[in-house]
């Protein structure tokens, strides 16, 4: 479940492995993996050089000069370095081989399990045509993201959890980190956003930056599917206070962590620390 921290780590890996390298071979497994389709995908990438990488919310942006790869890993997607080229298949949904360096062998990156995800190609000037990117809210680490901003978007009676998951409100939070942020801010996920006082809004703001920042430092949260491009696990799962801890006791007060459904998502909460 790659959210902002995991995507950040993956991008760092891709940058260090492949930035400045030319694409030697590129293929997708199936027509629906990319908006370019099976035939056009290689035609538009081979021979181009990866100029740089960037993150927009949970989306990976790979800058190939005349072409931009827009990759969304959604839930199960991951990126892994392979030791050699292999044809894409159901598991290795998209595979890109970069040229060999003078001292290193070829760099082969597999974009795995893009089952609900995709590896779209856009022309640089047309990225905003992407339906999600055009609607993304501010990045949690941007200046735009502030307590004042949150106050303005919280003037709705929707559940706070649903709003924080909404990428047009904040770009990059997903189910794990929203639960953790709300616990840290001592706000119950079902609270109507417009009932938060300014202290609580500030707490949500600070917790978002703090938790995401620490998760990046620990190279993300690893459950079943996420590993970085070097196959390493993140360490933030050891810092989780509520997520996946239902039935266990709260580290702060000892109350049993509950699991409920909010905004259609499994949601973890300490009923004492986060009164509803």
Partner DNA sequence: TCCACCCTGGAC
Partner DNA sequence: GTCCAGGGTGGA
Binding interface with DNA (CB under 7 A): 1, 3, 32, 57-58, 72, 74-76, 90-91, 115-116, 131-132, 135, 156-159, 162, 165, 167, 174-176, 224, 261, 263-266
Q: Which two tokens stand for residue 50?
A: 């990866």
By annotation, the residues acting in catalysis are: 2-3, 58, 265
For the bound state, the minimum distance from the C-beta of residue 161 to DNA, rounded and expressed in Å, comes to: 10
Q: Which is nearer to DNA, 46 or 127 (CB)?
A: 127
In the bound state with DNA, the residue whose beta carbon lies nearer, of 143 and 157, is 157
Q: Would you state the structure tokens that stand for residue 62, as one six-digit string? A: 């790979």
Q: 74 or 82, CB closer to DNA? A: 74
Measured between alpha carbons, how far is 202 from 95 in angstroms, rounded to an integer? 43
Minimum distance from CB of 215 to DNA (Å)?
14
Q: Shortest approach of DNA to residue 137 CB, angstroms?
A: 11
Alpha-carbon 52 to chain mean position: 18
DSSP state of 25: E
Quote the least distance from Cβ 148 to DNA, whole Å: 20
The nearer residue to DNA, 135 or 214, going by C-beta atoms, is 135
Q: Which is nearer to DNA, 82 or 260 (CB)?
A: 260
Report the nearest approach of DNA to the CB of residue 143 (Å): 22
Smallest gap, in angstroms, from Cβ of residue 107 to DNA? 26
CA distance 78 to 118: 11
**Could you tell me the two tokens for 69?**
């790869």
> What is the DSSP-derived secondary structure letter of residue 126?
G
CB atoms within 10 A of CB 41: 24
The CA-CA-CA angle for residues 123, 227, 63, to 5°, reads 15
Pairing mode of beta strands 78-82, 107-112: antiparallel
Measuring CA to CA, which residue among 15, 60, 68, 61 is closest to residue 44?
68
H/E segment holding residue 98: strand 94-98
- φ, ψ for residue 225, nearest 5 deg: -100, -25
Q: What does the block give as tokens for 126? A: 């047309």
Reduced to 3 states (helix: H, G, I; strand: E, B; else coil), residue 112 is strand
Q: How many residues in the chain?
A: 276
- Nearer Cβ to DNA, position 107 or 171? 171
């Amino acid at each position: 479940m790659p959210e902002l921290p995991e995507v950040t780590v993956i991008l760092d890996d891709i940058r260090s492995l492949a930035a400045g390298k030319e694409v030697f071979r590129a293929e997708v497994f199936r027509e629906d993996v990319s908006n370019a389709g099976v035939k056009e995908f290689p035609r538009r990438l081979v021979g181009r050089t990866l100029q740089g990488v960037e993150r927009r919310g949970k989306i990976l942006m790979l800058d190939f000069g005349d072409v931009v790869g827009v990759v969304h890993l959604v839930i199960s997607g991951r990126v892994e370095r392979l030791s050699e080229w292999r044809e894409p298949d159901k598991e290795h949904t998209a595979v890109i081989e970069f040229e060999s360096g003078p001292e290193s062998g070829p760099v082969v990156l597999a974009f795995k399990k893009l089952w609900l995800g995709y590896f779209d190609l856009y022309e640089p000037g047309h990225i905003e045509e992407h339906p999600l990117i055009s609607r993304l809210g501010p990045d949690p680490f941007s200046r735009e993201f502030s307590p004042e901003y949150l106050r303005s978007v919280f003037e709705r009676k929707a559940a706070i959890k649903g709003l924080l998951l909404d990428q047009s409100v904040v770009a990059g939070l997903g189910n794990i980190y929203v639960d953790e942020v709300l616990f840290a801010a001592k706000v119950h996920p079902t609270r109507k956003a417009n009932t938060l006082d300014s202290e609580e809004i500030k707490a949500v703001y600070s917790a978002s930056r703090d938790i995401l920042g620490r998760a990046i430092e620990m190279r993300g949260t690893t459950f079943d599917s996420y590993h970085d491009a070097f196959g390493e696990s993140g360490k933030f799962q050891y810092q989780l206070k509520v997520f996946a801890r239902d039935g266990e006791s709260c580290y702060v007060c000892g109350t049993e962590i509950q699991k409920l459904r909010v905004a259609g998502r499994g949601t973890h909460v300490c009923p004492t620390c986060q009164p509803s």
